[in-house]
Each structure stands twice: as C-alpha cells, then as structure tokens.
Amino acid sequence: MSDEANKGLLSPLRRKLLMGMAAVPAITMLPKASFAQAPATSAVNTTGLAVTDTEVTVGILHSATGTMAISETGSIEAEKLAIEQINAMGGVLGRKIKFIQEDGASDWPTFAEKAKKLLVNDKVAAIMGCWTSASRKAVLPVMEQYNGMLYYPTFYEGLEQSKNVIYTGQEATQQILAGLNWIAKEKGAKSFFFIGSDYIWPRTSNKIARKHVENVLKGKVVGEEYYALGSTQFNSVINKIKLTKPDVIFTDVVGGSNVAFYKQLKAAGIDLAKQPLLTISVTEDEIDGIGGENIAGAYACMKYFQSLDNPNNKAFVPAFKKMWGEKTVIGDVTQAAYLGPWLWKLTVEKAGSFDVDKIAAASPGVEFKGAPEGYVRIHENHHLWSKTRVGRAKLDGQFELIYETADLVEPDPFPKGYQ
Amino acid sequence: MIINSRFFNRSELMGFVALAAVLFVILPLTLDVFRLNLVAKYLTYAFVALGLVLCWGYGGILSLGQGVFFGLGGYCMAMFLKLEASSVENTKIQSTPGIPDFMDWNQITSLPLFWQPFHSLTFTILAIVLVPGLFALIIGTAMFKRRVGGTYFAIITQAVAAILTILIVGQQGYTGGINGMTDLRTLKGWDIRPDHAKIILYFVEVVLLFACIGIAQFIRLTKLGRILVAMREQEDRVRFSGYSVANFKIFAFCMAAVFAAIGGAMFALNVGFMSPSFVGIVPSIEMVIYTAVGGRMSIFGAIWGAILVNFAKTSLSESFPQLWLFGLGALFIAVVLAFPNGLSGLWGDYVQPRIDRLFASRKSKAGWKDNSVADGAPAE
C-alpha cells in the first residue's frame, strides 16, 4: 500500500543519502510527534531510565563468545544496523540511540547477571537480546522483576507470554503447522520421522508437530529420536530412516550437529531430491557450515529467506552486506533481530513515552511496513503476526521460495489441542 | 569462635581480620545492592575453593569434579525453591497445575517421587549436606580403598562431572535439562528477590563462610591436618606408620564436597537460578583455577582467589565483550607462571616479611613462622 514510500526508506545505500531521504519514509512511518521539537525528557521518561535530552540508551545482550557466538553474531549485527539506520533518520523522539553491548558468553546465568546489570546499573530503556530458550528463561525473571523490555528474536517453542517481552520470531505453531500442511498436500506425505536435538525447543516443536500429523493430517509418526546438543553421530538414526522409509524426515537438530547430520545423510546415500526433508532449524547461517552441496534439495520452514523478492528486502540485504561484509549471510533470526529496534522505536513513538509500562501497553497493533520479511504487526499476546514460508535449499547456500501462506499467521503461544 | 594465638598465628589473624573487615564492613558500605549480590555470587565459589585447599592443598588430592558437589547442593536448594514457586495458583496456566513448569512442558503429569521430600525445608537442608557428602563417600571409598590416586583420580572425578551433566541434560522432565531451574522466588514465603533480601542473604552467606573457615582451620591444626600434609608429602611412609591413608583421603574429599555443596546452595539462593552449566567439566576446572590463583596452600589466599578471579571475569567481560576471555586466559597463565603458589605465595614472599620486620622492630622477637609445611612445598 505504501511501496513507493518504503522504497524511499530502504533503497539508499549510502548513509548520507539515507539521511537526506529521511523525510520521505517519515511521512508514512512516523506519527506526527516526531516532527515536532523533541518532547521534554521529564514528560517521556517518568521512571528514571537512561534518557537525556539528546540520547536514549538501549542494551544489546547476546553471546559474543562461546558456542552460541556463531549463531548470535548475526543478531548483534542486525541490531546494530537497525540502530544506525534509526539514528540516521533522526533517532527516537528526537533522541539518538546509544547502545551498551554485554556478552552473555553462551552461559545462561551470565545472561541473567548482565540483564540485571543493564537494567539496574545502566537503566537501559530496552534490551535487544537472548537467543536460546535457556537464556531467555534465565533473563525473563529479571525482566519481570525490574520491569524491563526485552525484544527476543529467535523462533521458539511458545508456552510463554510476558508483558516485558516482545517475541519478534515465530512461536512453534506459526513455524510448523503451515509447513506440515504444505508438505502433506504437495508430496502426499503420510508418514513422518522426527529427529531433534535434546532440549525444550525441539521436544515441544515435535510434540506440536506430532499432534498435527496425527489429529489433523491423519498421518503417522514412524519414529522420534533425540540427540544431545553437539552430537555428531547420526548413523543409527539414518539406518532407522532407511528401514522405516518415511515420506518425510522432519528435523529440528540445532547448531554444529547439523554439519554431521547432513554429511552423514548424504554419505548414506539418501538423496534429498527424492527423499523429502523438512527442517525448522536450518537457516542460511547454518548452511554456511553444512555446505550447500550437502543439503541442496531440503525444505526449510521459516518466515524469512535472504532471497525474498520484495522491495524492503532488496534494500535490507545490500545495507547489511555493506556494513558487515559481502560474505555475510542473513538467516531467519538475523532478520527477526533487525525488527527489534524498529518495533521498539515505533512503539515508543506511538506511546509518546519511553516508560516500559506504556510501551508494553502500546505494543499491540504496532505495525512495521519496512520489515525485510514484508509486513509485521504485534499481536495482543506480544508475538508477531507474520507469514510462514517454505524454501528449498540450493547449491549456493541460498533458499528458493517455494510456498508462502496467503495471509499473516496468527501467533498462538498456548495452542489448544496441541499441549 | 575463639580467636587466640593458638588458633590463628599472626599472619593468619591478619588475613582473618582483613577478610572480615572487607566482607562485613567495607563492601556492604561501598557497593550498591547489585554489585553486592555479585560479590555474594563470587563468595559461593569461595566455599568450593576452601574445600579444595583442604583436599588438594593439604591432602594432595586433586579433584577436577568439584562442580558435581556444587551442583548437587545447588540443585537440592533449587528443588525446594522451585516447588515453592510452583504453587497451584502460580502455575494455573499449565495443563497440570502445581508442578514445576519444565515438567509440564515435558508432559509429566504428577510430581516424581524423589521430588516429594523437597517440600520440607529441614529435609532440604539435610540433603544439601548429606547427598553430596554420601556421594563423595561412595566415590572416595571406591577409589581410595583401591589406592587409585593422583592423575587417575583427577580423571575419574572429571568423568563423574561429565556423567552428571549428561544425566541432568538428558532427564529434562525431572531436572529442567539444559535450561536449569529458573524463576526461583520465595523461601518459606519470604521473597528472595528484592534488595533487602539480597543484603540479608549476603550476610548469611558471609557468616556461613566464616564458620566454614573456622572448621577448615580447626581441621588443619589438629593431628588430622598434620596427617593430611604428611600424606601429601610421603604417602607410603604414613601408610607404613600404621595409618589408614584411604580413610583420611576419604575424609578430606568428603569435607571438600560438603563445602562445595554449601556454596552451591547459597548460589541457588543468591542468584535465583541453577543450571547444568555449573556442574560440568569446565566449571570444575575453573574452580581449581581460582584456588590455584589464590594459592592452594592458604585458606585465605584461595578465598581471595575465588573473589578476585570472578571479579576480573565480570569487569573484563563488561569492558571488552568480544575479547575478555583472552584477557582472562592470559591472566591465569601469567599468575601460574610467575607465582606458582598463587597470590598468597606472592604475599608470603614479599609483603609478609616487610610487615614482620616492622613488627619485629617494635616488639621483641615473635615467632610468626610456624607454618613450615606450606613453605617449600613442591608445586605440582
């Protein structure tokens, strides 16, 4: 509906040009307030947050070290890009965003400690952060106790909803159901084999997937296996797959284990062009490690692919590469992390205040038309309305978009009939 | 506690007074509650370090699995707190209200049997001491009675740490898995999260720490302590003198386990959190590192080591989020290379003699140097 204006926001690659163009998107993007003189600090900040007349401080809390660094780096980069772009447009309520970065070090209690430090010591107005469910679970009590605001980017298992968190990734039903429907229809699939890493997200996702397969698709789950995080031996499960010959292999194996899993699948002679495989855990970031030739042909169910063909994404991808290097790839979570600072900015401007209570209350209904995935809107339950998409992995490590839902899918963190 | 010249010699008395002054007066007056709570977290590791001084510094038994006992103590405490936080009212959105949230996510519909006794605080406090103590007794008996020692013992403790982590992560319906137990709220209805509770918990912990220091010092001064040191220096000679070496080793190992478990329980209370990331091999080795940096022969040195290393960890990671691990690694290497007896060795070699000279010039001779065993001990 406002495509021309959105191009204006996202096409300029050079920062100066972007600054010059700031007024164009502002017409559609911003409420009128932002054109007025910046409102007085005492009016927009009644709870003692780190807001001055010219600056507002937010926190970035991800693992820059440890095993999760490889996954979380993309999120850090996306958040910094969003903050820089927002600042180039004039900031939030006339204030530049300053960020304090803390390292969660892939260690959940460290996340909790650093979140507390950001809220109590630094008085940040919002935190963009966390990646694994474990880190979010560790941080959540801190956010609720000290009344902070967390923008959490990863697709996750659901079963959670908090005033103090905006979930910019998909909860499990948003990611899984449409993908299963599509593959059941497209491939006539009736039997499924589940393989996952052994922690809460794969187990909950598979529970939802199993109920959907059995109750809605009237199919059968012929196997369900879990492997410890970091596991690299998948030969036994690959033999079981060969024996049971499922119509679809459904996987939520995470992190480095993927490299071993897909290589061993290939070595065992399972050709993904003939054997449908649907993953909900492999993005462009993981393919970087797996190697395109090992996974080509597999289907992934996400809400964003780097190859998406829309004006927002065509501006976002080059801007990201310009800031972080030509070779970087952008996965689903990286895009969701990019949404965090933008949604916060839009919400602050809607609320006319940095106060956390007001932001929490103003969040439902906030829409971001400049999202690289297209368009998103915050639901009353603090999750996002977004589309589900299925892509097929190509040799070059990118996904080719095969299917997307016609409408935005409603987030349903406590799905009835799936628990 | 009776402090007299027999219980502490002069340098130890100074260490005691300095530590007490810092922990009871200086830190609470100068730090805000957030930083004080961080110190409380560091001090939980001081309990572990204290145990390692007994078992490794004096007894010569290197355990690379202290995280196991820290974890057992912490999990016992966390189970009690989690049960209290999972009242029917708090968990009414679950499919089975009244059980911990992670059980509900894992389709467990009733509280497992081994969780039931943790409704009782008395049982929990006993379990914090007895479960790790008994576990150490079993491992110790199995190993030391067969004369497994030295490197082999260290490897086995490390394997136990790995096994326990895998067990906790694998049985996530019963343990919370890799997420651990989060969102611990109240102790017998008393909210452990607000600032004033943090301050009270801090002082409780410091008092407990000094009680443990007292016990450790008492053990050191008795004949038992002498035998431990003798065992470290010449195990066979002690055995030939008619002592049961295995029993003494088991005792030292159990004491270290109990101290670590008390630390773990205080950790769960202060941080409101327990997870397998404190049980495994890496945290267990870190615990040995604190002790080595502080000085494994010295009770106060090891405690300072635990505090300072963790303080360095926090401040380095705040200042250099991308590079801090390298800095910390360099610090360890530097300390171990330059001062094999840790910070306390540095103190003993350079600072203490000057202070003594100062005193000696005022008073007539006072024999401060009784602790000949600590000096000249070979660095392993």
Give the per-residue SS3 of A186-235.
HHCCCEEEEEEECCHHHHHHHHHHHHHHHHHCCCEEEEEEEECCCCCCCH
Closest to B283 (Cα-Cα) out of B253, B315, B313, B244:
B313
Task: For residue range B169-228, list pLDDT tens digits in order.
Answer: 888 889 988 888 988 989 999 999 888 999 999 999 999 999 999 999 999 999 999 999
Asked if the model's pLDDT at residue A31 lies above 70, the reply is no
**CB spacing of A65 vs B172 below 8 angstroms:** no
Please give the average per-residue pLDDT across B253-277, as a whole number: 94
Angle at B31 between CA B78 and CA B292, to 5 degrees: 65
Residue of A nearest to B109 (CA): A419
Q: Does B312 touch chain A (CB under 8 A)?
A: no
| B93 part of contact set with chain A, CB < 8 Å | yes
Q: Spell out where B112-228 has E strands.
A: 186-187, 190-191
* Confidence check: pLDDT of A263 > 80: yes
pLDDT tens digits for range A184-242:
999 999 999 999 988 888 988 998 999 999 999 999 999 999 888 778 899 999 999 99
Contacts of B106 in chain A (CB under 8 A): 200, 203
Contacts of residue A197 in chain B, CB cutoff 8 Å? none
Asked if the Cβ–Cβ distance from A113 to B107 is below 8 Å, we say no
How far is the C-alpha of B164 from the C-alpha of B158, rounded, in Å? 10
Q: How far is A65 from chain B (nearest CA, A)?
A: 6
Average pLDDT over every residue of A156-170: 93
Confidence band for B371, pLDDT divided at 50, 70 and 90: very low
CB A198 within 8 A of CB B169: yes
Question: Best mutation site among A61, A62, A65 for testing chain B: the one with the most B CBs within 10 Å?
Answer: A65
Which of A103, A107, A159 is opposite residue B277, by nearest beta carbon? A107
**C-alpha A187, offset from chain centre:** 28
pLDDT for res B54: 94
Name chain B contacts of A230, Cβ cutoff 8 Å. none
Does position A25 have pLDDT exceeding 70, yes or no? no
Q: Do B322 and A108 touch (CB under 8 A)?
A: no
Least confident of A29-43, B9-23, B57-71, B281-295: A29-43
Mean pLDDT computed over A75-81: 96
Cα A95 to Cα A101: distance, rounded to the nearest angstrom? 19
Q: Does B315 touch chain A (CB under 8 A)?
A: no
Contacts of B169 in chain A (CB under 8 A): 198-199, 228-229
| pLDDT given at position B364 | 52
Whether the predicted pLDDT of A28 surpasses 70: no
Maximum CA extent, chain A: 70
Between A62 and B102, whose confidence is greater?
A: A62
Do residue B34 and residue A121 have CB atoms under 8 angstroms apart? yes
Residue A305 has pLDDT above 80, yes or no: yes
A120 contact B CB<8A: yes
pLDDT at A306 over 80: yes
Query: Residue B346: which residues within 8 A CB-CB, separation 6 or more?
Result: B339
Is the CB of B63 inside 8 Å of chain A's CB atoms? no
The answer to whether A141 faces chain B, any CB pair under 8 Å, is: yes
Strands (DSSP E) found in B223-346? none
Residues in A touching B75 (Cβ below 8 Å): none
Which one, of A321, A319, A312, lies nearest residue A284 by Cα?
Answer: A321
In whole angstroms, how far apart are CA B368 and each of A55, B5, B234, B350, B372? 59, 10, 26, 15, 10
Q: Do A343 and A151 touch, CB atoms closer than 8 A?
A: yes
Nearest-CA residue of chain B relative to A158? B105
> Cβ separation of A113 and B169 shorter than 8 Å?
no
**What is the chain B residue with the closest CA to A134?**
B179
Contact call for residues B201 and B40 (beta carbons, < 8 A): yes
Q: Which of residues 150-169 of A touch B (CB under 8 A)?
A: 157, 159
Residue B61's closest CA among B248, B189, B205? B248
The answer to whether the Cβ–Cβ distance between B102 and A419 falls below 8 Å is: no
Within an 8 Å CB–CB cutoff, is residue B170 touching chain A? yes
Amino acid letter, A81: L
Chain A residues within an 8 Å CB radius of B277: 107-109
B268 vs A contacts (CB less than 8 Å): none
pLDDT of residue B107: 78
A273-289 pLDDT per residue, tens: 999 999 999 999 889 88
Q: Given a cut of 50, is residue B102 above it in pLDDT?
A: yes
Q: Which of residues 65-104 of A touch B (CB under 8 A)?
A: 65, 101-103
The two tokens of residue B259 are 């101290």
ipTM computed for the complex? 0.72
Q: What average pLDDT score do residues B317-322 get?
A: 80
pLDDT at B259: 97
**What is the per-residue pLDDT for B380?**
40
Mean of per-residue pLDDT scores for chain A: 89
Summarize pLDDT for A382-398 with one digit per residue, the tens: 999 999 999 999 999 99
- The mean-pLDDT minimum among A27-41, A238-252, B75-89, B105-119 falls in A27-41
Kindly state the average pLDDT of the residues B150-159: 93
B167 touches chain A (CB under 8 A): no
pLDDT score recorded for residue B174:
93
Contact B105 A157 (CB under 8 A): yes
Higher local confidence (pLDDT), B6 or A31: B6
pLDDT tens sequence across A82-112: 999 999 999 999 999 999 999 998 888 889 9
Tell me which of B123 and B89 has the higher pLDDT: B123
Per-residue model confidence (pLDDT) at position B374: 43
pLDDT at B11: 78
Give B184 to chain A, closest Cα distance, Å. 9
Contact B169 A198 (CB under 8 A): yes
**Which chain B positions have a beta carbon within 8 Å of A102's beta carbon?**
317-318, 321
Spatial strand order in the sheet of A165-167: A96-103, A55-62, A127-129, A150-152, A165-167
**Residues from chain A contacting residue B266 (CB–CB below 8 Å):** none
In angstroms, rounded to a whole number, what is the distance separating the alpha carbons of residues B83 and B78?
8
Give yes or no for residue A165 having a pLDDT over 80.
Answer: yes
Is B105 in contact with A204 (Cβ distance < 8 A)?
yes
Compute the radius of gyration of chain B from its Cα atoms.
22
Percent of chain B with pLDDT over 90: 56
Helices (H) and strands (E) in chain A, counts: 16, 15
Selecting from B95, B170, B321 the residue whose C-beta is nearest the C-beta of A103 gives B321
Quote the CA–CA distance of B285 and B289 in Å, as a whole number: 6
pLDDT value at position B216?
94
Is beta strand A367-368 parallel, antiparallel or unpaired with respect to A376-378? antiparallel
Confidence of residue B5 (pLDDT cuts 50, 70, 90): very low
Cβ–Cβ of B105/A117 closer than 8 Å?
Answer: no
Report the gap between the CA of A137 and the closest CA in chain B (Å).
7
Q: A60-74, B132-146, B293-307: lowest mean pLDDT where? A: A60-74
Tell me whether residue B138 is exposed, middle or buried, using C-beta atoms within 10 angstroms of its C-beta: 0 to 12, 13 to 18, 19 or more. Answer: exposed
CA distance A237 to chain B (A): 18
Q: How confident is the model at residue B256 (pLDDT cuts 50, 70, 90)?
A: very high
> Does B373 have pLDDT greater than 60?
no
